[in-house]
Amino acid sequence: MRWTLPNILTVLRLLAAPGVAVAFLYFHRPWADWFALLLFVGAAVTDWFDGYIARSWKQESKFGAMLDPIADKAMVIIALLVIVGYSSMSPWLVLPATFIVFREVFVSGLREFLGAQAKLLSVTKLAKWKTTAQMVAIAVLFSRDIFLYHMIDRTQGMDDATVQAILNGQITDEVGLAWLAQMRDIAGFLGVTLLWIAAALTLITGWDYFRKALPFLKDPA
């Protein structure tokens, strides 16, 4: 293995994946959410750069080709586990996350079974859109919790009636609660919508890969 810049970026992205979960063990919220968001966005950016640099500088390698999808899957699955775990198991998040994890495991199993024929399951343009939708959805969902926990911090010592009166405009909003609540709702709706879109693309691309692999799964007559 050559330690080229693209390979180094890929390894760093793989190591960053568990860091998203570890952040919630060592930081209080919303700082844990901030750390996870920055780590996740940084990893997503390197995902684009390492591929671009590898092609532009002619530094593509078998090691990078092997590790790149593993790093992507690890980052997405771990981030989804964290988001679902801290969402009180909301079905609006559990279901699409389940579809995404199921597809990733299923396709990985197909590739392992096919061995040399796994090149038939090369990444399609639709699969790249699926990955992009996943990355954006997860980043937006992390930002939703940032807005939520900043609201919680700013309402310390307030009762529910006071908070509601501020949000209804009956009391002057001196701490920016209305803005935070609005951004939380927008990020929540956008994040869940994008996650469902990603889940739909996940199932479509998963079926496409299964269809391509089907001739190799049949026993000889």
CA–CA separation, 75 and 126 (whole Å): 19
Tally the domains of the chain. Answer: 1
Residue 220 lies in a domain: no
Give the pLDDT score at 1. 61
Q: What is the CATH number of the domain that holds 30?
A: 1.20.120
Residue 55 lies in a domain: yes
Q: Is the C-alpha dihedral spanning 37, 38, 40, 41 positive or negative?
A: positive
The parent domain of residue 65 ranges over: 5-214
Please compute the mean of the pLDDT values over residues 165-175 and round it to a whole number.
Answer: 79
84 pLDDT exceeds 70? yes
Give the pLDDT score at 61. 74
213 pLDDT exceeds 70? yes
Residue 37 lies in a domain: yes
Give the pLDDT score at 118. 60
Instruction: Give per-residue pLDDT as tens, 95-121.
Output: 999 999 999 898 888 887 777 666 666
Residue 126 lies in a domain: yes
Residue 63 lies in a domain: yes
Give the pLDDT score at 69. 82
CA–CA separation, 94 and 89 (whole Å): 6
Residue 219 lies in a domain: no
Give the pLDDT score at 198. 94
Distance of alpha carbon 137 from the chain centroid: 7
Please compute the mean of the pLDDT values over residues 171-179 and round it to a whole number.
Answer: 80
Residue 121 lies in a domain: yes
Q: Rounded to two decimals, what is the model's pTM? A: 0.85
Residue 221 lies in a domain: no
